[in-house]
């Protein structure tokens, strides 16, 4: 079963679910509201293994045996509409964020992308940091300045999913594609989109997005997602 | 130059002018461009520090487009922490047929009344005399001079969206319902008020962070769509002619040439008292001195000579004497009572014939999904939205 976590307003969530179902895959969309409200989680740690069960309010049950891939499009959590004092509401929100982040991090199946402490959506790095990391991996990068934001003249987006890098217009060399995959593994974001400018002689990287647009990538992205579910596949 | 007022203070003419301008913007296609922009703004103007500046610029441009149609129009705000009703509590000042229309029909949620009845809007069928509340939560966040704490106001603002429901309750397409602009005019006002309150605090920063956040959220980052970038999609004309719009450019709303009636002197409501009301509030011993058909001139002429200005001022009930009136009394005499002034909070402008009629028969309505979504995706979206709505959203 492939689980897609996200909001109904996220068209990429909807597209991934519908498109994968059209290919015959079992896909469930789980809303952040369904994770938080009316759900029950059992988490057991013993000397032999870690087991968990997440029962949603509508009766659906998630457990390690049923989850093959999680596409994590959680960017935030819904507020509690109960009669909580503001400080209590903040505390509840933070506890939920921590609980869901911990749960996602313990999944043994591929998670695209695993959450970080500060963000359920994965690493949220500033533009300068992305370029610095990419440069360290040998990817040509546009210079970064703090006093202005230059824009790519002819932007092209490469999307990496685990050990695959989708370059729709074949503008990046093998080295750059492999390096982007390595960047994703390094920062813990196996699903990312890199924006390069092909107007330069050698395409240079401008930015990286760990919450990329999925539907514009099309079938190649679906192939890459399915590849993640294969035994030993993906590298995510 | 525009004065953004509490919607409860709009006159009939102002409500009509505003709704007419919005409808004209809808008719010329300009309105739907804003809906499209908001669909792409989930990562840019939501869930991050840029929530306030992004929406400030977004609403400002919308308002400019309205003013290109009618220069007298400004976007009023909906203070959803209070009941927006008339003094008697018998009429909603927002959910009415000459303004935002009704709450949506039971069952379908179709909005069939008001100036936007032909837009195919859906709302959650709320109680028109109710309101989302969240005032306490907002006050807590606004009490902190730290922007990172203050911007948690985004959460209770979300509650206002959810309370209206329908399109407004769906972040991606919320601007499809004109109530969106009233909500975000209030959000913007809260930022202005917060800055106004804390600007004298040593080390105060009207926006954070300076750096270290996701692109588009740092103080000097340019923001989508105006910077012409194409993630998630490009928007003309900025993909051709990008503009540098940064959070750093936006903290001072006055520099953007608009004002709020709770923040800016240019826009504050004038305290007015009708002479009759002033007379009614006078102590009995003074009332007895007044002729029955008292006009301002007669009042002045008939005051006992021994009543000095100082004595008169001291005898007036405190709630009657506003600051301006007090200051005027220092310099002049009872002639100030000649000024006709309106008491704030009263609403003399609602005519009985404008009472909202929400009893009309439902018109057949089909939701108008985004034409770019295929039917399966649209159906899934609908199903998920319904599932979410069925969940009890509290931990109790």
Q: Give per-residue pLDDT as tens, A56-66.
A: 988 888 888 88
CB contacts of A20 in chain B (<8 Å) are none
pLDDT value at residue B86? 84
**Residues in contact with A164: Cβ distance below 8 Å, sequence separation at least 6, in sequence order:** A181, A224, A227
CA distance B196 to B68: 29
- Kindly report the three-state secondary structure assignment for every residue of B211-266: CCCCCCCCCCCCCCCCCCCCCCCCCCCCCCCCCCCCHHHCCCHHHHCEEECCCCHH
Cis peptide before B232 (omega within 30 of 0): yes
CB contacts of B396 in chain A (<8 Å) are 82-83
- To the nearest whole angstrom, how far is the Cα of A232 from the nearest Cα of chain B? 31
With a cut of 60, say whether residue B366 has pLDDT above it: no
Mean of pLDDT values over A213-227: 91
**Which token pair is B142?**
């606004």
| The pTM of the whole model exceeds 0.80 | no
With a cut of 70, say whether residue B387 has pLDDT above it: yes
With a cut of 90, say whether residue B374 has pLDDT above it: no
CA distance B60 to B78: 16
pLDDT value at residue B91? 87
Q: Does B36 touch chain A (CB under 8 A)?
A: no
CB contacts of B391 in chain A (<8 Å) are 33-34, 37-38, 57
pLDDT tens-digit map of B84-111: 988 888 889 999 999 999 999 888 889 9
CB contact under 8 A, B377 and A31: no
With a cut of 60, say whether residue B300 has pLDDT above it: no
- To the nearest whole angstrom, how far is the Cα of A231 from the nearest Cα of chain B? 30
Could you give the ipTM of this predicted complex?
A: 0.85
pLDDT value at residue B286? 56
In which band, very low, low, confident or very high, does the pLDDT at B313 lie, cut at 50, 70 and 90? Answer: low
DSSP helix/strand/coil, B274: coil
Pick from A207-211, B117-121, B362-366: least confident: B362-366
CA distance B178 to B116: 8
Residues of chain B with pLDDT > 70: what percent? 72
Mean of pLDDT values over B136-161: 89
Pairing of strands A155-161, A164-166: antiparallel
CB contacts of B380 in chain A (<8 Å) are 8, 14, 17-18, 29
CA distance B215 to B110: 39
CA distance B79 to B112: 24
Q: Are B196 and B263 in contact (CB under 8 A)?
A: yes
Most confident of A102-111, B374-383, B384-393: A102-111
With a cut of 50, say whether residue B388 has pLDDT above it: yes
DSSP helix/strand/coil, B76: coil
With a cut of 90, say whether residue A134 has pLDDT above it: yes
Phi, psi of A141 (to 5 degrees): -125, 150
With a cut of 80, say whether residue B342 has pLDDT above it: no
Mean of pLDDT values over A19-33: 92
Sort residue B69 into left (φ over 0), alpha (ψ -120 to 50) or beta: alpha
pLDDT value at residue B346? 36
Most confident of A142-146, A229-233, B89-93: B89-93
With a cut of 80, say whether residue A106 has pLDDT above it: yes
pLDDT tens-digit map of B177-188: 999 999 999 999
Which residues numbered 166-225 in A keep a CB inside 8 Å of some CB on B? Answer: 193, 195, 207, 209, 211-213
pLDDT value at residue B331? 44
Residues of chain B with pLDDT > 90: what percent? 42
DSSP state of A221: H
CA distance B110 to B102: 9
Which run of H or of E encompasses A220? helix A219-229
Task: Give, in order, the Cα–Cα distances in Å from B339 to each of B32, B39, B109.
Answer: 46, 50, 48
- Kindly report the three-state secondary structure assignment for every residue of A169-199: CCCCCHHHHHHHHHHHHHHCCCEEEEEEECC
Helices (H), ranges, A2-126: 11-22, 32-36, 86-106
């Amino acid at each position: 079963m492939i689980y897609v976590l996200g909001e109904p307003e996220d068209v990429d969530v909807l597209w991934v679910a519908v498109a994968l179902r059209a290919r015959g895959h079992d896909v469930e969309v789980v809303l952040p509201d369904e994770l938080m409200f009316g759900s029950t989680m059992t988490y057991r740690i013993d000397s032999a293994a870690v087991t968990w069960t997440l029962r949603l309010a509508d009766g659906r049950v998630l457990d390690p045996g049923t989850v093959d891939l999680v596409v994590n499009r959680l960017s935030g959590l819904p507020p509690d509409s109960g009669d909580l004092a503001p400080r209590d509401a903040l505390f509840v929100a933070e506890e939920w964020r921590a609980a869901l982040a911990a749960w996602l991090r313990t999944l043994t199946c591929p998670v695209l992308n695993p959450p970080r402490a500060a963000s359920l959506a994965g690493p949220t790095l500033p533009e300068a940091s992305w370029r610095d990391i990419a440069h360290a991996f040998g990817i040509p990068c546009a210079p970064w300045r703090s006093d202005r934001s230059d824009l790519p003249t002819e932007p092209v987006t490469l999307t990496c999913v685990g050990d695959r890098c989708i370059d729709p217009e074949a503008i990046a060399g093998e080295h750059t594609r492999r390096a982007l995959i390595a960047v994703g593994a390094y920062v813990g974001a196996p699903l990312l989109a890199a924006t390069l400018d092909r107007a330069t002689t050698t395409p240079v990287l401008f930015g990286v997005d760990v919450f990329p647009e999925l539907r514009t990538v099309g079938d190649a992205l679906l192939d890459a997602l399915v590849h993640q579910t294969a035994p030993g596949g993906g590298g995510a | 130059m525009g004065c953004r007022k509490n919607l409860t203070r709009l006159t009939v003419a102002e409500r009509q002018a505003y709704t007419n301008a919005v409808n004209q913007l809808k008719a010329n296609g300009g309105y739907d461009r804003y809906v499209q922009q908001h669909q792409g703004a989930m990562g840019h103007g939501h869930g991050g520090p840029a929530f306030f500046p992004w929406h400030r610029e977004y609403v400002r441009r919308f308002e400019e487009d309205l003013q290109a149609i009618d220069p007298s129009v400004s976007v009023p705000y909906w203070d959803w922490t209070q009941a927006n009703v008339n003094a008697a509590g018998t009429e909603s000042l927002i959910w009415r047929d000459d303004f935002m229309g009704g709450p949506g029909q039971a069952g379908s949620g179709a909005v069939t009344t008001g100036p936007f009845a032909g837009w195919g809007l859906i709302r959650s069928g709320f109680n028109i005399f109710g309101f989302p509340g969240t005032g306490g939560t907002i006050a807590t966040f606004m009490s902190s001079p730290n922007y990172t704490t203050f911007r948690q106001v985004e959460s209770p603002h979300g509650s206002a969206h959810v309370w209206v429901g329908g399109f407004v309750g769906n972040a991606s397409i919320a601007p499809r319902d004109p109530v969106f602009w009233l909500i975000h005019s209030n959000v913007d006002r809260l930022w202005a008020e917060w800055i106004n309150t804390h600007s004298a605090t040593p080390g105060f920063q009207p926006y954070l962070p300076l750096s270290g956040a996701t692109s588009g959220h740092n103080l000097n980052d340019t923001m989508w769509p105006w910077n012409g970038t194409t993630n998630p999609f490009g928007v003309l004309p900025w993909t051709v002619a990008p503009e540098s719009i940064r959070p750093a450019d936006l903290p001072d709303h006055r520099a953007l040439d608009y004002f709020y009636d709770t923040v800016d002197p240019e826009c504050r409501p004038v305290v007015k008292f009708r002479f009759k009301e002033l007379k009614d509030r006078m102590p009995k011993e003074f009332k007895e001195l007044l002729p029955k058909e008292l006009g301002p001139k007669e009042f002045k002429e008939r005051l006992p000579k021994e009543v000095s200005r100082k004595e008169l001022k001291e005898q007036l009930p405190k709630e009657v004497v506003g600051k301006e009136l007090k200051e005027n009394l220092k310099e002049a005499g009872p002639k100030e009572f000649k000024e006709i002034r309106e008491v704030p909070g009263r609403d003399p402008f609602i005519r009985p014939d404008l009472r909202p009629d929400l009893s009309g028969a439902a018109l057949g309505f089909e939701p108008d999904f985004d034409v770019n979504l295929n039917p399966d995706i649209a159906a899934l979206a609908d199903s998920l939205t319904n599932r979410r709505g069925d969940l009890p959203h509290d931990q109790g």
